[in-house]
Amino acid sequence: MAMNLRLRDDQTDALKQRAEQEGASMHAIVLRAIDDYLSRTAQEAIVRKTAQEQAAKWSELLERLK
C-alpha cells in the first residue's frame, strides 16, 4: 500500500541526518520506526490485559490488603 507522509521541516532534517549517519535510506528508517512502535504497543497491550486479569483474579485479596 502506498501512502503519503507529511513531516515538519525539522523532522525531515533530523530524519535525513539520521539516515546519513546510519547509511540507510529515510524510507528504511521510517519503516523501522513503525515496526518498533507496533511491537512496543502490542507488548504494552499484553501487559495491560494481563494486569487487568490478575487484578480481577486477586481483587478480594487486594481489597483486604488496602
Confidence of residue 62 (pLDDT cuts 50, 70, 90): confident
Look at residue 61 and tell me if it is in a domain: yes
Q: Which ranges of 1-66 does DSSP label H, i.e. alpha helix?
A: 9-22, 26-57, 59-65
What nine digits make up the cell of 18?
Answer: 539520521
CA distance 17 to 15: 5
Look at residue 63 and tell me if it is in a domain: yes
Confidence of residue 1 (pLDDT cuts 50, 70, 90): confident
* pLDDT digits 0-9 by tens, 9-61: 999 999 999 999 999 999 999 999 999 999 999 988 898 899 999 989 999 98
Q: Which residues form the domain of 61?
A: 40-66
Residue 6 has pLDDT above 90, yes or no: yes
Q: 34 with 27: CB under 8 angstroms? A: no
Look at residue 26 and tell me if it is in a domain: no
Q: How many domains does the chain have?
A: 1
Give the pLDDT confidence score for residue 66 in this predicted structure. 84
Look at residue 11 and tell me if it is in a domain: no
